Chain A
């Protein structure tokens, strides 16, 4: 793949927090233009850190990219700050939705257009367009965001990000703590935004099955390293992925410890 077809190209990055805590060892990944890429892994694997490295939100958490490069749209993001990244069309939807609780649903969404110079009329036009994807939010536009449900708050967070007219969205665990039906609804919206608006998407998820079914490509990271990557289809049918992340196995259920034990046995045999 040449660089021009990739909207995001991360090469061998290492990230440390507070100059001592090594969060990412070696992560490389690519997001082709107009595609949905899933970043999978357990808690603490480094998914959020990777996304924050891309959106440059790391700095506000005393984190730093200490090795490697991140290129967005062909340019290094080295010297950028979060609001500049938003200006360049890269918007992150943070983990845990993070709505502005005391603002109304509509005010939350309008706040997303802050970085753009729009007239009142333009804003209303954009709002109507956004509401076609998030029909539920239109009904609740005057409610205070803190009093909406978890699913609605996630929709607010995504709608708010869409108001910035992003070329690329970074979604951090968009389905965390949501009922299966809502998970499906959120992913349907994400898919629709990707197809109709042409937004490239990098999403971090623990919900491996649903995430892969809605993505084109997947990366699996563990303790700050990419362990496995491939097309969503190939990962879904990969035995290791099935065993470790989907809980499906030929010989019944298996947990992570069993696999490690097996691996160490194989290693010993090799030695």
Chain B
């Protein structure tokens, strides 16, 4: 009995921690959704692009770890800058759907650029943190939990708190929330949309880099990272597209649910249900709570 309970705990905790990795990817989406009111289809490509550049700097140019990370982060700011200048600004008055389509195109450009610059083979990313159970926890709590999962959890927590403080208490954060509510009114009182867009896309780029590091360390830096973005979709539907806490909780729910279902219900379906179980959950949310758990309610005066 105790062993079964321990096993369940292990599955649950493993799922929750894996969920923080989804949260990290979802965070990037939320940032851009807040400012541009659009789902950024290029977020997956940004993850791939940023982490491949990071690994490329280290392996091809022998740049030390920290410096390479800073360079990759700066590169993402440049990507944000170019996106604002060449994609968003010309489409400033276009409908949200047009911007959505543009992000799909941007995704292809980034994928292509990344592969042109760094090649197509899978690269190994060594963060110095092993993807194996932490001995101390295994000895004392009898739970086998990966060090990488724990790191991802801690990193995600730090990023959330940082972004929350940024939005809630800084001037630029207030500007961002104002733009998210009504871009026209924001510009009428002198909030420069350009700066806000630049900030948001750069921040999303850096978040993509961090998410890419976590996923790259686990699964190798490869093209499949692009499809990770799709896993963020159910996370966002559950958590709410415009909510940072929602991205976190959504990620945790997806991570936990898919692991628990896989282990306990999976055998009845012949396994491999973690691929689609999150989407089923997402459909239920769309039916009964379309704004997600923490999404901004659609407020309408009557």
Query: Is this pair of chains taken from one and the same complex?
Result: yes
Contact A57 B178 (CB under 8 A): no
With known contacts A98-B182, A100-B177, A102-B296, A82–B93 Cβ distance under 8 A:
no
With known contacts A60-B184, A94-B185, A164–B190 Cβ distance under 8 A:
yes
Contact B301 A111 (CB under 8 A): no
Nearest to A98 among chain B residues (CB) is B185
Nearest to A88 among chain B residues (CB) is B190
Contacts of B184 on A, CB cut-off 8 Å?
Answer: 57, 60, 94, 98
Q: How far is the CA of A144 from the CA of B301 in the complex (A)?
A: 12
Contact A114 B171 (CB under 8 A): yes
Contacts of B181 on A, CB cut-off 8 Å?
Answer: 100-103
Contacts of B182 on A, CB cut-off 8 Å?
Answer: 98-101
**B112 interface hit (Cβ, 8 Å):** no
Contact A91 B92 (CB under 8 A): no
**B74 interface hit (Cβ, 8 Å):** no
Q: Which of A86, A110, A111, A163 has the most CB of B within 10 A?
A: A111
Contact A86 B190 (CB under 8 A): yes
Interface flags for A141-168 (1: CB within 8 Å of B; 0: not) read 0001011001000000100110110000
Contacts of A83 on B, CB cut-off 8 Å?
Answer: 187, 190-192
Instruction: Return B146 CB to nearest CB of chain A, in Å.
Output: 38
**Which one, A61, A103, A150, contacts B177 given CB within 8 A?**
A103
The number of chain A residues touching the other chain, given as a range, is: 35 or more
**Which one, B93, B177, B186, B189, contacts A102 given CB within 8 A?**
B177
**B175 interface hit (Cβ, 8 Å):** yes
Interface flags for B280-302 (1: CB within 8 Å of A; 0: not) read 00000000000000001001010
**A87 interface hit (Cβ, 8 Å):** yes
**B95 interface hit (Cβ, 8 Å):** no
Q: How far is the CA of A160 from the CA of B191 in the complex (A)?
A: 12
Contact B187 A161 (CB under 8 A): no
Interface flags for B10-44 (1: CB within 8 Å of A; 0: not) read 00000000000000000000000000000000000
Contacts of A112 on B, CB cut-off 8 Å?
Answer: 189
Residues 180-224 (chain B) with a chain A CB within 8 angstroms = 180-182, 184-192
**B137 interface hit (Cβ, 8 Å):** no
Contact B188 A82 (CB under 8 A): yes
Contact B188 A91 (CB under 8 A): yes
Contact B178 A111 (CB under 8 A): yes
Contact A94 B190 (CB under 8 A): no
**A206 interface hit (Cβ, 8 Å):** no
Instruction: Return B145 CB to nearest CB of chain A, in Å.
Output: 38
Contacts of A107 on B, CB cut-off 8 Å?
Answer: 174, 177
**A62 interface hit (Cβ, 8 Å):** yes
Contacts of A175 on B, CB cut-off 8 Å?
Answer: none
Interface flags for A101-125 (1: CB within 8 Å of B; 0: not) read 1110001101110110000000000
**A50 interface hit (Cβ, 8 Å):** no
Contact A57 B175 (CB under 8 A): no
**Which one, A85, A93, A103, contacts B178 given CB within 8 A?**
A103
Q: How far is the CA of A93 from the CA of B181 in the complex (A)?
A: 16
Contact B189 A91 (CB under 8 A): yes
Contact A94 B188 (CB under 8 A): yes
Instruction: Return B223 CB to nearest CB of chain A, in Å.
Output: 38
Nearest to A86 among chain B residues (CB) is B190
Nearest to B187 among chain A residues (CB) is A82
Contact B185 A100 (CB under 8 A): yes
With known contacts A98-B182, A101-B299, A102-B181, A114–B188 Cβ distance under 8 A:
no
Q: How far is the CA of A31 from the CA of B192 in the complex (A)?
A: 27
Q: How far is the CA of A98 from the CA of B185 in the complex (A)?
A: 6
**A92 interface hit (Cβ, 8 Å):** yes
**A49 interface hit (Cβ, 8 Å):** no
With known contacts A60-B93, A101-B299, A147-B299, A115–B191 Cβ distance under 8 A:
yes
**A55 interface hit (Cβ, 8 Å):** yes
11 contacts across the A-B interface (CB closer than 8 A): A82-B187, A85-B190, A86-B188, A86-B189, A99-B182, A100-B181, A102-B299, A103-B181, A114-B189, A114-B191, A147-B301
A-B residue pairs, 7 tightest by C-beta: A86-B190, A115-B190, A98-B185, A100-B181, A146-B299, A83-B190, A83-B192
Beyond A60-B93, A85-B190, A144-B299, list 16 extra A-B contacts (CB 8 Å).
A57-B187, A57-B188, A62-B93, A86-B189, A87-B190, A99-B182, A99-B185, A100-B186, A101-B182, A103-B178, A103-B181, A111-B189, A115-B189, A157-B185, A160-B189, A164-B190
Please report B residues at the A interface, Cβ cutoff 8 Å.
Answer: 92-93, 171, 174-175, 177-178, 180-182, 184-192, 296, 299, 301
